[in-house]
Amino acid sequence: MSSAIDGTRNSYAAALVSSILYGFYLLLAIQCIYGLLTKHGSTSGRNVALGYAVLLFIVQTVYYAAGCRWSAIEFVDASIDPAVFASELSGNLSLLKDTMYVINIWVADSFLLYRVYIIWSLHYVSLLPFALYLASLATGIGLLVETGKPGAVFGQASIINFGTPFWSLSVATNVCATVLIVSRLLYHHGALRRSTTRNPALSGTSPAVIMFVESAALYAVCGIIYIPLFAVDTPVQYPFSALLGGVVSIAPTLIMARVAKGTALTKEWSDIPLVDMPPVAQPAPSQSTETIPKYKIA
């Protein structure tokens, strides 16, 4: 009885977390999409960001709507007829919610891989997160197949056996991409500080904040917390699952918002060899200061 009460309380907490995060995401997504649509001088980078922003918005909204209906059944309908909720555990609504959740992660991860390509180009080190992403696709499909079977219940052994590697691979993809992006930014930031070159994408904001946003580290941190809770199948996982489900859209949308503002790093920036950055030099009083070159940003 105590376990059932704990599960219900944590499920209610998950509904609250999901609603708060979706409200924040909705405001951020509208601002981001509006900025990408109205930004003059559209580039391919902005078009890609706009496509991802719209796709994430659709998937996240469907997931949230399915979650709201799920909460209505769990806390309203089930209080009248418990059999209603039991029948939905492996019904179409549950399958829709789980499918949108997994697709949301796939879309967000693929956008982060796109950012790895932007910053690292086709360097061989970028192959590792791509390989991890392919593995997460395979385990994600297996997870959806298991959850779609008649009588399947979230938390049973077969679902955990696919769910744990799926989230682990997704988080591993994000952690790997985060390390690659942050290391590249640190390398360039240090070189830029020692040169006369200035990049507006790396100025005006704390470098730590820029690196945290550009690498989508927020999702990686939340994922690392969630995985062990899911693996041991504790009710505490429910609010953290909702947290992860919201952050998975918020983290990439923060990057897209930088693209909309024209402050996100682009491929032109990453392709500039560091050896071409001139050292700092103080001009003589009689000499005019040369125009400071700027790198192209989105």
Torsion of CA 253, 97, 12, 29, to 10 degrees: 20
pLDDT at residue number 33: 93
133 has pLDDT over 90: yes
In angstroms, the CA 140 to CA 108 distance is 14
The pLDDT confidence band at residue 211, using thresholds 50, 70 and 90, is low
Least confident of 68-77, 132-141, 209-218: 209-218
User: CB-based contacts of 16: which residues, under 8 Å, 6+ apart?
Assistant: 239
Considering only CA atoms, which of 257, 263, 258, 265 is closest in space to residue 28? 257
Would you state the structure tokens that stand for residue 247, as one six-digit string? Answer: 């952050």
In angstroms, the CA 147 to CA 156 distance is 10
> H or E segment at 6?
helix 2-38
In angstroms, the CA 85 to CA 83 distance is 6
Top-confidence residue, 180 or 27: 27
The pLDDT confidence band at residue 135, using thresholds 50, 70 and 90, is very high
Segment 155-176, tens digit of pLDDT: 677 788 888 899 899 989 988 9
185 has pLDDT over 90: no
The pLDDT confidence band at residue 11, using thresholds 50, 70 and 90, is confident
What does the mean pLDDT of the chain come to?
77
Percent of the chain with pLDDT over 70: 69
User: CB-based contacts of 157: which residues, under 8 Å, 6+ apart?
Assistant: none
206 has pLDDT over 60: no
Segment 230-266, tens digit of pLDDT: 888 888 888 998 999 999 999 889 888 888 887 665 5
| Residues paired with 198 in a beta bridge | 294
pLDDT at residue number 221: 86
Fold of domain 2-272: Rhopdopsin 7-helix transmembrane proteins (1.20.1070)
Top-confidence residue, 52 or 217: 52
Reduced to 3 states (helix: H, G, I; strand: E, B; else coil), residue 285 is: coil
pTM above 0.85, yes or no: no
